[in-house]
Amino acid sequence: MFVAFTGASGLFNNAFNKLACLATGNASGYCHVECGCDTDLGHLRELAARLQGKGGEVARRTSTTLNDLLDAYPLTAPNTEKVCLAFHAFYGQPLGVRILSPHCPDPLYQPYDDNWTVYRLPGASDATVRAQTAWALSKVRLPYDSWGALLSPVRSFHKEPSAVEPDPETWWCSAHALRFVQNVGFLTETYSLKGCTPNNLGSEFHAHCLAYKAPQCSTPNAQSVHFVHFDEDHWSAVGNVVHHVVPDVLRRQCTSVLRTRNRKSD
């Protein structure tokens, strides 16, 4: 799993994004953030099969998303083929997902370059990653929250620990990325979706890495990659509850298949 930040450079180099950086507190900071998962074709096919014939808005929306993703691969492609999914909320557009691949000529669909700062969350079980993938897929095509994004810089990024924020029906990029990591026990308790911006979210990631002296490396394309580490106890606790974030229509497939696979690996 990963979260990726970018400033008003590269594909995002325009006046609107420069203004967004300035409005959220850092003219040279971030204007956009997105999250993603590394999965495989087998998991996407399993989810698509589970949704066949299912009614309801979530099932129809997610099924359409999965079919669009699977159309990018030939039917003969093996289930083990790796798929890198990036979930994004571009201003004014419904939540989307794209496959990142070095074989795609469109720069937006290529792996992150040096205009991005990427934080990876290693150590999660396959079950956790698949639950997160299912959750994110279920949000694709939901509306963009333009007012929420515009007001987020003047709202507090913090809330009372007892205040519950359920998943909203509309999103902007940083609120979506924050909820993605909250699902796995990071930046929970006092952090609020309503006041989340790319810059204050990026600051929290940076502070966590400094506090834990997390290692950093560079990829062949000079992209900056950081690792947000948690211990085994953290990931074990997350694995016991993360399936609850998955919609019911997807949960049975997601958990039953993974439990079977986990038993086989014991």
pLDDT at site 48: 95
Q: Which helix (H) or strand (E) holds 32?
A: strand 32-40
For the entire predicted model, the pTM comes to 0.88
| In contact, 205 and 116? CB cutoff 8 Å | no
Distance between CA 225 and CA 36 in Å, rounded? 14
Q: How many CA atoms lie within 13 A of 126 on its CB side?
A: 16
Distance between CA 186 and CA 247 in Å, rounded? 21
pLDDT at site 214: 52
Assign 260 to helix, strand or coil.
helix
- Starting at the edge strand found earlier in the chain, the sheet holding 2-6 runs 96-99, 82-88, 32-40, 2-6, 116-120, 224-227, 216-218
**Which is more confidently placed, 88 or 19?**
88
- DSSP code, position 171: B
**Which is more confidently placed, 179 or 226?**
179
Residue 222's pLDDT band (boundaries 50, 70, 90)?
very low
Structure tokens at 40: 């495989």
140 CB contacts (<8 Å, ≥6 apart)?
61, 62, 65, 87, 94, 95, 96, 97
Residue 210's pLDDT band (boundaries 50, 70, 90)?
confident
pLDDT at 259 over 60: no
* 176 alpha-carbon distance from chain centroid: 7
First and final C-alpha spacing in the chain: 23
pLDDT at 264 over 70: no
- DSSP code, position 152: G
- Residues facing residue 144 across a β-bridge: 171
Residue 140's pLDDT band (boundaries 50, 70, 90)?
very high
